[in-house]
Amino acid sequence: MKNIFTALLILFSFLSKASAYSAEFKGQILGTVIDSITGAPVDYATISIFKKGNKAPFNGTVTDSKGNFSIKGVGPGEYRFAIDFLGYRRKSIDQVVVNDNSQDISLGRILLAPIRNQLQTVTVVGAAPTIENKIDKLVYNTANDLTSQGGVAIDVLRKVPMVTVDIDGNVQLMGSPSIRFLINGKPSTIFGSSVTDALQTIPANQIKSIEVITIPGAKYDINGTGGIINIILKDNKLQGVNGTINLSAGTRRDNGSLNLNIRKGTFGVNASFSGNEQVNTNTINTSDNLSYNSRRDTSTRLFQRGNSAFNRGGYRTGLNFNWSITPKDELTASFGYNHFSNHNNGLTNQEQVITNLSNNSIASDILSVRNSDSRFSEKSFDYSLEYKKLFKKEDQELDISYNTSFGNNTVNFFQQQDYLNGGYKSSGLRSNNPGRDHQTEIAIDYVRPVSDNFTLETGVKGEFDNINNTVVTDSLSGVNFVPDANQTYGFKYQNKVYAYYLSTTFSMFNKFIDSKVGLRDEYTTISSNFPGAQIPSYNIVAPSIVFSHKIDKTQSFKLSYAYRIERPDDGDLNPFYNISDPHNISTGNPSLKPEIGHNYELAYNKSFAKGANIIISAFYRYNSNDIQSFTTHYDTLSVGGTKYSNVYLNQRYNIGTETTEGISLFGSVPVTSKLNLRTNMMFSDRITANPGSPTVSGFMYRLNLNASYEFGQDFTAEIFGNYNSSQRNLQGTRPAFAFYNLAVRKQFLNKKISIGLSAADPFNEYINFRSTTSGNNFYQTNSRQVPFRSFGITFMYKFGKLEFKKDKQKDDNMPDVPVDRGGK
């Protein structure tokens, strides 16, 4: 690490000097557009520049979210400026003279006067790009996603490049499940207990965009070897009262949401509420498990067949307060409440046959029935306060933020096994596992442009996570459940991270290469009362580098690297034994070490004259101390003084190294003015090397295709198909997964009302999955029939006097690529 740090400092010094020598000074005209009544900045106002005597503008731009604008490279001469925005009177500034003595000109604060006699209802809708490829992230905008209407975040993620989602809602980013999930750039305790359940409670129509950050810069936490997925929820800062109502009903899921925006002058409030329920589904499960004793003279075959009824539901609500104290001082406060739960119960028929292999005789044949019931519930409260300070110098800003989250979750399970022969007594357990999680984050970030093409960014952060958990277990004794002291305990877990980072953005070699180079230092302390846990404090210095080259206005290259880690969370470390199925038990591992990751990526953009575009990303990931689940078979396993026979124990371990290499492809082709095709493809090979075991190579691919068609008169149709291949892992195979969705949408009353119909796998009642797991002395085959077919109807209503949407400006470091519009 010391060598990496030294090399990076030398590289940084060289690049800084090269940037300074190659920077070419150019004049620019600056200004800030302000509402003359409220003093609030006017974002997305149009700035047009005219040469003297000409009626047509020759250059221009739009203001950013702070009302600022900058036009560079203006040659000597006399110019006229025009500033326009919907709802305001045009502002003209004449006789702006640029000469050798005044190459940098500030127009200062430009006041726009609102027009009082506006129409009662005005709707202006601009087509948002479906995919935006920026210097440090890829953005998927959901505005035109029809087949996810009525769905949840999981359904949207299935369409995002470089992301794969299996049938159970488990998410991987470029083949890695180690992902840091954020909501509006902030962590939340809702992701602590069950990421899948949390994602199932966020309605798709509440999501504005999803940011995929595969190579996070120094500003981001280094936790998550796969990268970061940031879910941006919808909001706006429009004057007046406006909002949306969304309702959907279906055979598999019901959703409802309300968004309300109230803004007067410099003060605004956003409120939202959403709820959803996945109706009861019945899954058929079959498993065939064959194991041998240590002498391999006895085999045990356990056959299980049953069904499980599952339902899930939840709701979330939030309030956001925004106060523009001055045009350069902004205060934002927010509150969110989340609740979700699930319930799973079923009946499993079991047959266990023990065979004496020396004479091929059956030693015993035991028939039993297992009743099981599990319930999970999570409640969390999120609070945040953020202050933003802008300065006279463009892009110079200070951010101070405080975020805290309180989570309460409860896991209850019950299982009872009754024997149909052999005279065995019934056995069973019931357990109550309440827990509390409190996360706090305090951060200060500062950005300062040093010159026209050199910017410094720095910041500090403290993260504090406290978890308390209690496990109360009762065992079946005769016909009653009695307290089991050997399986009743409590634990505490505390994690503290102190971080500092320094990052620079600059151009070099006469702006031939745009660069972003940074270092992040994180010091972590962990304490817990887990039995046998030995978790030392550790310090990580993590570099990140991005180089991009803009070939021309339509194409660019990007080369990047980031050092990442994956800290084991409390669920990985918790020694609690889940015995909801006494033959398949899972537990945590208090001895886990952090996983270390090195992520490399090479990306290429290309756009074409008629709107087609492609994004190609080649990636290489190398992890040491890789954290993976591992299954071990025990003839007899003792848990808290109770012995269980023929047990398959699933536990997390640091498994040697894992290397993943592959390529991701995104393409969009406007076949006609009405038909648009998009595709996401990913091909990768994952190589796992575990000392003492053979190296395992697992190739996988994902293919999907999205086609949308505009019939005219605001009527649109879309079809989406997806296929995830099977993949070999350390002990077996992960099953393949394929599905397709159909959707249509009709909009009415100037797009204020829309009604949609959707269907998922309409001709297949079940999707069939088969997976295998094997070890030195066992072999398992598991089959599931999962109901996936669904039909739904959606309704959306927009209300309010003004709605305005416009494409945000792309990152200055990437080319102005005419990205896919994905319909209208």
Average pLDDT along the chain, 824 residues, taken 10 residues at a time = 45 44 56 82 84 75 83 80 82 82 78 62 51 81 79 88 85 88 83 78 85 92 91 76 89 89 87 87 92 91 93 90 90 92 93 92 93 92 94 89 93 92 89 91 95 92 92 88 85 91 91 91 87 76 93 89 88 80 87 91 88 91 92 89 89 92 93 90 93 88 93 92 92 90 90 91 89 92 90 90 43 38 39
Nearest to 570 by CA among 191, 160, 310: 191
Longest pairwise C-alpha distance within the chain: 106
10 Å CB burial of residue 343 (0-12, 13-18, 19+) is: middle
Nearest to 463 by CA among 386, 404, 388, 390: 404
Q: What is the pLDDT of residue 22?
A: 38
Tokens representing 494 are 């505390």
Q: What is the pLDDT of residue 715?
A: 93
**Which fold is adopted by the domain 2-116?**
Immunoglobulin-like (2.60.40)
Q: What is the pLDDT of residue 196?
A: 81
β-bridge pairing 68-72 and 28-35: antiparallel
Cα end-to-end span (Å), the chain: 50
* pTM for this predicted structure: 0.79
Residue type, 395: D
Segment (H or E) for 571: helix 570-573
In sequence order, what are the beta bridge partners of 638? 643
Could you list the beta-strand ranges (E) of 452-512: 454-477, 480-483, 489-508
**Residues of the chain by 3-state class (helix, strand, coil), percent to 5:** 5, 65, 30
CA 295 to chain centre: 48
Which of helix, strand or coil describes residue 3?
helix
CA 469 to chain centre: 27
Specify whether the CB–CB gap between 426 and 368 falls below 8 A: no
Do 131-201+208-804 and 2-116 have the same topology in CATH? no
Task: Map tokens 């150019």 to a residue.
Answer: 26
In sequence order, what are the beta bridge partners of 595? 566
CA distance 431 to 575: 15
β-bridge pairing 642-654 and 584-587: parallel
Pick the CATH number of 131-201+208-804 from 3.10.20.30, 3.40.960.10, 3.20.20.10, 2.40.170.20: 2.40.170.20
Phi/psi at 300 (nearest 5 deg)? -125, 125
* Per-domain boundaries in the chain: 2-116, 131-201+208-804
Specify whether the CB–CB gap between 758 and 739 falls below 8 A: no
**Start-end of H helices in 602-652:** none
CA distance 351 to 356: 17
In sequence order, what are the beta bridge partners of 31? 69
Q: What is the pLDDT of residue 24?
A: 40
Specify whether the CB–CB gap between 822 and 676 falls below 8 A: yes
Q: How many helices (H) and strands (E) does the chain have?
A: 5, 47
CA distance 540 to 552: 38
Q: What is the pLDDT of residue 101?
A: 67
CA distance 33 to 31: 7
